[in-house]
Structures are given as C-alpha cells and as structure tokens.
C-alpha cells in the first residue's frame, strides 16, 4: 500500500527538515502506532499516528510570507532581555512561522517567514550556496583594494573566513553606498568584514534572498508569497543544489 515516506511526513509537520528527520528516525525517537521505527524508507499510511520524542505530530499546511523588517527589532520569538522582536509586529496567527536566517537588530530588509522546515534547511544549509543581496552604506570612501580584500576573504573569527562580492553604487570622500552579495550565512558577517577594514556601517538592508525581494513591501509590512513564487524558488534551489553537487 502506498503512503508517505516517514521523513517527509515528519518534515511536513514543520518540526524539521527531511535530513534532520532521517537523523531522528535513526536515533530511535520516532514511533508509529506505538512501534519504534528506525527504517528510513518506512511509509506512513493515512490513519497512522506518528510520535517524535513521545509527542504526536501532524502534517500542517505550509505558509510562506515575505516580511520587511524595520530597524530596532531582533529576529527571534522571545528575548530574555525584553527587547522588541519581529513578532511584536506580526499578528498572532503568524507567530508559528520561523524566519529563514536572521537580521541583526539595526539591520533592515527582507525576511522569509515559513513553517516549512525543509525549505528553511535548503535556504540556510552551508552546502547550498544561496545568494543574499544587501544594500549597505558606510562612512568613508571605500578603496578598490578593500573591495578586492572582501572578495578574497577576511578572517572575521578564528578559523572563519568570510567572502563578499561588492558593487559600488555611490561614492565620495564622506560615504559609500554599495550592493554586497553573500553566499554564506555568518553572524553579522558584513558588519564584521567592514569593521575589520575600518568602515562604520550607517545602514544595512537585505534586498533579496534567492529569488525573492522586497518589491511591493513597505517597512514593517508582510505579504504572503504567491504559489508561483514558491515554485520559482524551489526550481532555483534545485538548480543551484545540482550545480553545487
């Protein structure tokens, strides 16, 4: 009898990606109808009950939103220091959605919000070089040598080298506006790279993540991502995953 592969069923609950689901299955914490299942190819039937760590899970309808994060909010659902979070700006019915990656408190721009754990994994896994584009303004006139240095790589932490592609949009003796393209997801990567070179970041905005951008969004606004856009995003991820392989 046909059914749904167990890892896909777990991923469809929003709990995690299929890859992580495989790890959970192999670790022996997944049960179907009271029986521990460690077989990766196991098929779940419509009336089966699936438990992960003794918690009953159900497939959920996936939701996808674009959100234009303003400055002054952190990208988390809860903050022990009592700082404002992006969820203060979102209706309660979207509080189950998770951001794909983060933007630090003073950075602005595009966040993808979803309960699709598998998509989150594909967009953030280091092995998949997903492009993210930022509009950045700094104090001072950036030199070509520093642009070349960012492309060649800067060690921003011990054992961690960050890379960036820079295109200058505006420049004079007092400031530089540029677009910075990243294929990594290191914490505060752009700020650390520019600080290493002696530049103060005035503003930093993510304007595109993979195939999605800020078009039609005002600061603090959120909108559902259209099915066609999700299809285009998945096709793009499939292409770059094959290329990286």
Domain-located, residue 242? no
Residue 33 pLDDT exceeds 70 = yes
Q: 49-78 pLDDT, tens per residue?
A: 999 999 999 988 899 999 999 999 999 887
Assigned domain for 239 exists: no
pLDDT at 96 over 70: yes
Could you tell me the pLDDT band of residue 192, with boundaries at 50, 70 and 90?
very high
Model's pTM, two decimal places?
A: 0.84
Judged by average pLDDT, the poorest of 83-97, 113-127, 153-167, 198-212 is: 113-127
Name residues whose C-beta falls within 8 Å of residue 132's C-beta, 6 or more positions apart in sequence.
101, 181, 182, 183, 185, 206, 208, 209, 210
* Model confidence pLDDT, tens digit, residues 119-131: 998 899 888 899 9
- CATH number of residue 25's parent domain: 3.10.290.10
Same domain, 88 and 25: no
| Residue 117 binned pLDDT confidence (cut-offs 50, 70, 90) | confident
pLDDT at 243: 63
- Same domain membership, residue 121 and residue 136: no
Residues 108 and 217 in one domain: yes
Residue 245 has pLDDT above 60, yes or no: no
* Residues 115, 217 share a domain: yes
Cβ within 8 Å of residue 159, ≥6 positions away: none
Query: What pLDDT was estimated at residue 241?
Result: 79
Looking at the fold, whether 139 and 194 belong to one and the same domain comes out as: yes
Flag whether 238 is in a domain.
no
pLDDT of 140 over the 80 cut: yes
Pairing between β-strand 160-162 and β-strand 154-157 as defined by DSSP bridges: antiparallel
| DSSP label of 74 | B
Same-domain check for residues 87 and 191: no
What is the domain range of residue 13? 4-57
Counting beta carbons within 10 angstroms of the beta carbon of residue 150, is it exposed (0 to 12), middle (13 to 18) or buried (19 or more)?
buried
Domain holding 202: CATH number? 3.30.70.1560
Phi–psi pair at 105, nearest 5 degrees: -55, -40
Instruction: Just list the catalytic residues.
Output: 104
Q: Are residues 138 and 187 in the same domain?
A: yes
Segment 161-172 shows an average pLDDT of: 97
């Amino acid at each position: 009898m046909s059914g749904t592969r167990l890892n896909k069923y777990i991923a469809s609950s929003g709990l995690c990606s299929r890859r992580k689901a495989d790890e959970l299955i192999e670790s022996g914490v997944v049960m179907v109808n009271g029986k521990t299942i460690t077989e990766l190819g196991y098929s779940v039937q419509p009336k089966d009950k699936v438990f992960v760590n003794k918690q009953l899970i159900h497939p959920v309808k996936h939701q996808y939103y674009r959100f234009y994060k303003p400055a002054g909010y952190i990208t988390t659902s809860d903050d022990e220091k009592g700082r404002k979070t992006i969820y203060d700006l979102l209706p309660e019915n979207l509080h189950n959605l998770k951001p794909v990656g983060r933007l630090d408190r003073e950075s602005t721009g595009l966040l993808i919000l979803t309960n699709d754990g598998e998509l989150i994994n594909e967009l953030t896994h280091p092995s998949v070089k997903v492009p993210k584009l930022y509009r950045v303004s700094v104090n001072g006139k950036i030199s070509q040598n520093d642009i070349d240095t960012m492309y060649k790589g800067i060690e921003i932490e011990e054992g961690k080298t960050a890379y960036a592609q820079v295109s200058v949009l505006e420049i004079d003796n007092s400031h530089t506006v540029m677009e910075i393209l990243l294929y990594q997801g290191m914490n505060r990567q752009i700020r650390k790279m520019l600080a290493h070179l002696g530049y103060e970041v005035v503003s930093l905005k993510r304007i595109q993540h993979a195939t999605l951008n800020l078009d039609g969004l005002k600061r603090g606004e959120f909108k559902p991502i259209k099915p066609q856009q999700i299809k285009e995003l998945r096709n793009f991820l499939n292409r770059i995953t094959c290329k990286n392989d």
